[in-house]
Amino acid sequence: MWSLNKSKSPARRGVTQRLKRRRHLSLFLRSLSLVVVSISVISAAYFWKSGLFGQWVMEARDTVDRRIADAGFTINEVRVTGQENTSLKQVHDALALYDGQSIVSLDLDKILEQVEALPWVKMATVIKIMPDALAVAITEHEAAALWQKNGKFYLVNKAGKIITDRELEKYAFLPHVVGKDANENLTGLLAMKDKYPDLFAKVKSAVWIGRRRWNLNLAGGIKIKLPEKGADLAWDRLYDYQTRQKILTRDVLVIDFCQQGKTIVRLTPQEAQRRRLLKKFGNKQESI
């Protein structure tokens, strides 16, 4: 009879044992890999959370900085141009450079942000000049007016942005505007100043009324009421009155342009009384 379970030959038994050993070795290596990866992840997490990673990065950066500095790439010169109202000390403080700092490690975006945060600086450009210089070009705000709000004064530019509230006495020659949001409505007022500068020189202050129009207080005590719309045309008419009739030298309290197409002139009490008497006794009336 033939048995169905024949004994394996010695050669086949050897092959089977080698295959088993390989499978065991492969399983061991996979397990070992998982253990190594797990340990690496845990170690990295600890390294990060403990702050050691950040410390390592800083130490590495400092080492690189020192080596670059040793190679001659330290900042030895800072060239600043364009500043008039911004002091060099303010610029240097904003740059926040330290002795021996390498030019390669500079964060230009951060430095630019710090320089443009200075009160007078409208915009700036910061560039590296290899191997050891830094150039800072500044464009400053143009002062346009002194804005008074709640009893406090501010220097503002044409767009109404506050520049500073210090050392304002040197800007007393600028237009003096008063009222909430007056600083944001300078465009038309400054256009009038540019059009007839001699006439505007008589304006002592401009008050923004009802968030919609201007009253001009002149040095002689006369008040000019400009309309909400067509203020530029009213300004032309005032210039014409002054050129032809010297209206601002008369005994006038108020010149009101607020009613479309009309000019209403309010006289001083004394002048009004004088004219009433002239009319009463039949004398010729004056036009203004």
Return the percent helix, strand and coil in the chain, to nearest 5.
Answer: 45, 25, 30
Query: Residue 254 CB: number of other CB atoms within 10 A?
Result: 14
- pLDDT on residue 261: 86
| The CATH number of the domain covering residues in 69-140 | 3.10.20.310
- The length of the chain in residues reads 288
- pLDDT on residue 61: 54
Domain boundaries of the chain, sorted by first residue: 69-140, 183-280
Token look-up 């230009």 returns 108
Can you name the CATH fold of 183-280?
Rossmann fold (3.40.50)
Distance of CA 150 to the CA centre of its chain: 23
- pLDDT on residue 26: 65
- The span from the CA of 29 to the CA of 135, in Å, is 59
Distance of CA 194 to the CA centre of its chain: 26
Q: Which two tokens stand for residue 30?
A: 């996979």
Q: Check for a shared fold between 69-140 and 183-280.
A: no
- The span from the CA of 161 to the CA of 120, in Å, is 11
Tens-binned pLDDT, residue by residue, of the chain (288 aa) = 323 344 445 555 554 555 555 565 566 556 656 766 666 667 666 656 766 655 654 554 555 555 555 545 799 999 999 999 999 999 999 999 988 888 988 999 999 999 999 999 999 999 999 999 999 999 999 999 999 999 999 999 999 999 999 999 999 999 999 999 999 999 999 999 999 999 999 999 999 999 999 999 999 899 999 999 999 999 999 999 999 999 999 999 999 999 988 999 999 878 767 767 676 666 655 556
- The counts of H helices and E strands in the chain are 8, 12
Token look-up 């800007």 returns 171
- The span from the CA of 266 to the CA of 245, in Å, is 16
- What is the spatial order of strands in the sheet that 264-267 belongs to? 162-164, 152-157, 143-149, 176-178, 203-209, 213-218, 223-225, 252-256, 264-267
